[in-house]
Structures are given as structure tokens and as C-alpha cells.
Amino acid sequence: MLASGMLFTLVTLVIVCTAILLGINEARKGKQPQIRPLAALQAIDEAIGRATEMGRPVHFSAGVGNLTVRGAPVMMASLSFLSYIAEKSARMDCSLIVTVAQGDVYAASDEVVRGAFLRAGKPELYQPGVVRYLSADQYVYAGGIVGIINRENVAVNIMIGHYANEALFIAEEAHHAGCMQIAGTTNEYQIPFFVAACDYVLLGEEVFAAGAQLSQEPSELGAITGQDFVKLFALILVLLGSISATFGSSFISRLINR
């Protein structure tokens, strides 16, 4: 049967899944949820426009994560960004450079860029060199990006995905090179570096919300509403837990450990 101490985990999992599924179902029925405006998202169009005017490329990096283990959810959200950015760049005739660090991300990114150029009605813009595999080693990857940013005179650096220690190397050097920067990651240890070095930053969960907003996929938008409900659930639990702990009761604490 159920392992000891896992009952509430199961209940929570059911609540989380139900909330998300209901949200998705509602969105699919046409009640498209609205998401509050995110400054970093609005800045993407401005950034691509700026790069087009300057006649310089936009660089997109999804970080060192992969699609299976290392930061898989955020890597998938980053593909939504890539799709939007590639389509927008193709429509504006702006040159795009995508650098990747993992084999599976290379395959997915290449597919996404090819599809986006096709949607923009400019399949001829797709060249094998648009998506570039650098290295799975984080520092080699960072060194490669730094070189590309400097040599190819990149105007806009967009970093959305899973980042580790290389985040600051890339963001700092792109700042040094005068790039406009938009970044986002769910790795809380790297967000501070992005906040310090970039113009716009998507903090943690904002990456998922922005990804859903860009794709306008009812399933993604619905999932955001479901997740918001789960956050309210967590908020109420914490308030109840703290208040009960203040009055010396451990009822909520025991309930959660059942």
C-alpha cells in the first residue's frame, strides 16, 4: 500500500493535477485565461526591432540544460521563446544565432527554428549555421558564446533556459559588449547574476508564464491558471500552519506529514 508519510503527498498531487487539468480544460473550451503583463516579455519585440535597425544579429541561448533531466521544464519553456523569437526575427529579416549545449536541445532547437522560419514565410532564411552546437561543458559553452557575441557584433542577447555557473560569464561579457539583454531562468542561484547584468529578467516561474503567453497554447495558459490555484493552496497552508504553530498546535504539521 501507500508508504508511511505519503498520504498527504498523494492528496496534494491529486489537487495539483486536478487544478491544472481543470485549468487546461477550461482554456480549451474557449475561456482563454489572461496573464498579467510581464515587462521582459514586452521587451523582446523591442529588442528584435532594435537589432533589425542596427543590422546586427540577435543571439539566443537556452543554457546548459537538456530536455530530459537537467532543468527539463524550463528548457521546454525556452523552446516556446525560441519559436517566437525565430519567427519574429524572420519576419523582420533580422539575423538570428542560436547556441546550444546539448545534443537533444540542438535537435529540438533546429526543428523549432526551421518551423518558425517556415511560419514566417521565409524558409530560405534557414541555414545550418543558425543553430550552433558549442559544447556540453558549461565553461566551454560560455567561452564560445563570448567569442560569438564579440566577433559577430551581436546587438541583443537573449538567455532563457537552464543556467548554472556560466550565467554570469555570458551575461557580464554581453553587457560589456553593449548588448541589450533579456534573461530568465528557474535556477535561483543564477537569477541574481541576471538581475545584476541584464536589462530585463524573468524571475523563476515567470519563464513558464511568459512561455505560455508567447505560445498562446490553451494547454499552457490553462496550466498557469491551475498552478496559480495551487500557489493559493500553498499560501493558505502556510498561513494556517504558522498561526497554529503560534498557538502551540502542531495539527497542520502532523496533517502534512501523514
Partner 1 sequence: MSTSFDTWVAALITLAMFSLAIYKENPVYRLAEHAFIGIGAGHAIVTGVQVIQTSGINPLLKNAEYRLLIPMFFGILLFARYSKSYAYLSRLSMSLIVATGAGLGLRGAVQAQFLNQISATFLPLNSINNILIVVGFVTGLTYFIFSTRYTRYLNGKLSVVPRIGRCFLMIAFGASFGNASMGFLSMLIGRVLFLVRDWLGLSSLR
Cβ closest to partner 1, residue 46 vs residue 172? 172
Residues in the chain: 258
Q: Residue 210 in contact with residue 192, Cβ under 8 Å? A: no
Site for partner 1 in 59-118 (CB under 8 A): 66-69, 72-73, 75-76, 103-104, 107-108, 110-111
Does residue 151 interact with partner 1 by CB under 8 A? Answer: yes
Q: Residue 35 in contact with residue 224, Cβ under 8 Å? A: yes
Phi and psi, residue 113, nearest 5°: -65, -45
List 136, 199, 217, 219, residue binding partner 1 (CB under 8 A)? 136
Site for partner 1 in 215-254 (CB under 8 A): 224-225, 228-229, 231-232, 234-235, 237-239, 241-246, 248, 252-253
Minimum Å gap between C-beta 49 and partner 1 is 25
Does residue 166 interact with partner 1 by CB under 8 A? Answer: no
Minimum Å gap between C-beta 92 and partner 1 is 27
**48 CB-near residues (< 8 Å, 6+ apart):** 58, 85, 88, 89, 92, 94, 156
Relative to beta strand 131-133, strand 156-162 is unpaired
Cβ closest to partner 1, residue 182 vs residue 224? 224
DSSP assignment of 200-236 equals EEEETTHHHHHHHHHHT-HHHHHHHHHHHHHHHHHHH
Site for partner 1 in 27-56 (CB under 8 A): 33-36
